[in-house]
């Protein structure tokens, strides 16, 4: 038997032995965390250019809470909906045309965003190029915490703002899921990083590499922070207009919370600045960059809570409380 034949036989055996059903979190109505239910459902099968992943861990993100409560972006579907985009796991089977992975590979990624990917489950399919090989130095819980928040920070700071060594970067909510990774990515790019956070979280934000931390409860960052090149606004509302006051000429505010209002963009342009809204996208190249940072020890997620899949509702309660630092992760036990 040739090596190719042996690999094909092993793949067929793996697919044959895999269960045809799985446990997944589903919801049949929009609402609070109580609408999330653990159910037995059919295991999906990979289509062309897709892989089937046996999920070990899946992270919870604020966008999950939003989609659970309201349905999220138009066109993402009506109940029943399966939530979740972050995953880390093992390739169970591959579809026709996949060359990047084979069964048994450990992978992590953010499939299909903003279309629901259903990673709050024991299995999920994903376009192969929405994933990357999991760094050996991360366990599945750590790896699951990186994709959506890490890609968001990377695409905002690198692809959109093109942060350069020596620039000054202001990260709002620097202890949050996106914020704590953004601090590390900006530092890896050689930036001087300023974060906003409550006083209780200052030590944590400094441990990530932040050069300064501003207590937003006792100080007005718009009055105390100056000469900034890039602002990452993860909060929205008045933070966008106030952040303009911290920028030097040519600076940029990248908003993740809501599309920049025309008035804000116009005011930024009048001042010789920029204000843009960014939505995260599935990104194989970005995932590889994040994996490389993690492999070099320059990017590590902070895990606030680890819960079993059946506790997804509890995870959402914690997420929407706004009091956690870092990421909340669900595990499947597989």
Which domain, by its residues, includes 242?
Answer: 149-277
Q: Are residues 261 and 177 in the same domain?
A: yes
Q: Is there a domain that residue 285 lies in?
A: no
pLDDT of residue 19: 66
Are 238 and 258 in contact by the 8 Å Cβ rule? The answer is: no
Question: Does residue 294 fall inside a structural domain?
Answer: no
Domain co-membership, 166 together with 233 = yes
Do 36 and 133 belong to one domain? yes
Residue 44 lies in a domain: yes
pLDDT digits (tens, 9 = 90+) for 254-279: 999 877 677 888 899 999 999 999 99
Lowest mean pLDDT among 3-17, 80-94, 209-223: 3-17
Residues facing residue 91 across a β-bridge? 53
DSSP calls for 148-215? HHHHHHHIIIIIIT---TT-EEEETTTTSHHHHHHHHHHHHTT-EEEEEE-GGGHHHHHHTT-SEEEE
Q: Is residue 287 one of the residues assigned to a domain? A: no
- 85-95 pLDDT, tens digit per residue, is 999 999 999 99
**Confidence (pLDDT) at 10:** 41
296 domain residue, yes or no: no
What value does the mean pLDDT take over residues 303-324?
94
- The CA-to-CA distance between both ends of the chain, in Å, stands at 31
Q: What predicted TM-score, i.e. pTM, was given to this entire model? A: 0.91
Instruction: Report residue 319 as tokens.
Output: 């997420």
The number of distinct structural domains making up the chain is 2
In the predicted structure, residue 14 carries a pLDDT above the cut 80: no
- DSSP tally for the chain: helices H, then strands E: 11, 15
Outline where DSSP puts E strands in the chain. 21-26, 37-42, 50-60, 87-94, 106-109, 123-127, 131-133, 168-171, 192-197, 212-215, 228-233, 247-255, 274-277, 303-308, 327-331
Q: What element of type H or E holds 283?
A: none
Q: Which pLDDT band, with edges at 50, 70 and 90, does 323 fall under?
A: confident
pLDDT of residue 305: 96
- Do the domain assignments include residue 22? yes
What's the whole-number mean pLDDT along residues 6-17? Answer: 42
> Mapping DSSP to helix (H, G, I), strand (E, B) and coil, where does residue 142 land?
helix
Contact 61, 150 (CB under 8 A): no
For residue 16, pLDDT over 60 is answered with no
Q: Are 254 and 128 in the same domain?
A: no
Looking at the structure, tell me whether residues 79 and 204 fall in a common domain.
no
Q: How confident is the model at residue 6 (pLDDT cuts 50, 70, 90)?
A: very low
For residues 140 and 160, state if they share a domain: no
Greatest distance between any 2 Cα atoms in the chain: 72
Please, which pLDDT band fits residue 116 given cuts at 50, 70 and 90?
confident
- Flag whether pLDDT at 12 surpasses 80: no
Residue 77's pLDDT is 59
Please state, rounded to an integer, the average pLDDT across all residues of the chain. 91
- Alpha-carbon distance of 110 to 147, in angstroms, equals 5
> Which of residues 14 and 307 earns the better pLDDT score?
307
Asked if 228 and 256 sit in the same domain, the reply is: yes
Dihedral sign for Cα atoms in the order 55, 150, 129, 285: negative
β pairing state of 247-255 and 228-233: parallel
R_g (Cα) of the chain, nearest Å: 21
pLDDT digits (tens, 9 = 90+) for 123-172: 999 999 999 999 999 999 999 999 999 999 999 999 999 999 999 999 99
Q: Looking at the structure, tell me whether residues 165 and 270 fall in a common domain.
A: yes
> Quick check: 38 and 59 in contact, CB under 8 A?
no
Same domain, 38 and 140: yes
**Looking at the structure, do residues 186 and 317 belong to the same domain, yes or no?**
no
Q: Do 161 and 256 belong to one domain?
A: yes
Query: How many residues comprise the chain?
Result: 334
Cα–Cα–Cα angle for 138, 230, 196, rounded to 5 degrees: 70
CATH of residue 219's domain is: 3.40.50.720
Structural domain contains residue 292: no
Distance (Å, rounded) from C-alpha 19 to C-alpha 10?
16
Any bridge partners for residue 23, and if so which?
40
What pLDDT is recorded for position 184? 98
What are the backbone angles phi and psi of residue 208, rounded to the nearest 5°?
Answer: -80, -15
Q: How many angstroms separate the CA atoms of 285 and 291, rounded?
A: 10
Residue at a domain's end among 277, 292, 313: 277
Q: What is the pLDDT of residue 73?
A: 65
pLDDT for the residue numbered 72? 76
* CATH number of the CATH domain containing 323: 3.90.180.10
For the segment 48-85, what is each residue's pLDDT rounded down to a tens digit? 999 999 999 999 999 999 989 988 764 455 667 789 99
Q: Is residue 293 domain-resident?
A: no
> In terms of domains, do 142 and 11 share one?
yes
């Amino acid at each position: 038997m040739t090596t190719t034949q042996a690999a094909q036989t092993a793949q067929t055996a793996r697919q044959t032995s895999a269960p045809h059903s799985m446990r997944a979190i589903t919801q049949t109505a929009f609402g609070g965390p109580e609408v999330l239910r653990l159910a037995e459902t059919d295991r999906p099968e990979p289509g062309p250019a897709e892989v089937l992943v046996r999920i070990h861990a899946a992270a919870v993100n604020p966008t999950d809470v939003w989609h659970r409560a309201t349905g999220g972006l138009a066109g993402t579907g009506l109940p029943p909906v399966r939530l979740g985009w972050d995953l880390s796991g093992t390739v169970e089977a591959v579809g026709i045309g996949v060359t990047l992975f084979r069964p048994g590979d450990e992978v992590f990624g953010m499939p299909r965003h903003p279309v629901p990917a259903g990673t709050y489950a024991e299995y999920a399919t994903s376009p192969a190029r929405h994933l990357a090989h999991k760094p050996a130095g991360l366990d599945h819980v750590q790896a699951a915490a990186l994709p959506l928040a890490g890609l968001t920070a990377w695409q905002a700071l690198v692809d959109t703002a093109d942060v350069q060594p020596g620039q000054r970067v202001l990260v709002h909510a620097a202890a949050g899921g996106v914020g704590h990774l953004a601090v590390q990515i900006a530092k890896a790019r050689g930036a001087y990083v300023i974060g906003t956070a409550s006083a209780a979280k200052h030590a944590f934000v400094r441990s990530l590499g932040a050069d300064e931390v501003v207590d937003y409860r006792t100080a007005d960052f718009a009055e105390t922070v100056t000469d900034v090149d890039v602002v990452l606004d993860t909060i929205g509302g008045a933070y966008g207009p106030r952040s303009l006051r911290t920028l030097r000429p040519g600076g940029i505010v990248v908003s993740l919370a809501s599309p920049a209002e025309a008035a804000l963009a116009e005011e930024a342009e009048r001042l010789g600045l920029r204000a843009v809204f960014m939505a995260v996208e599935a990104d194989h190249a970005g995932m590889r960059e994040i994996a490389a940072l993690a492999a070099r020890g320059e990017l590590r997620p902070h895990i606030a809570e680890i819960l079993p899949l059946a506790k997804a509702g509890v995870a959402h309660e914690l997420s929407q409380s706004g009091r956690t630092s870092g990421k909340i992760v669900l595990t499947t036990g597989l």
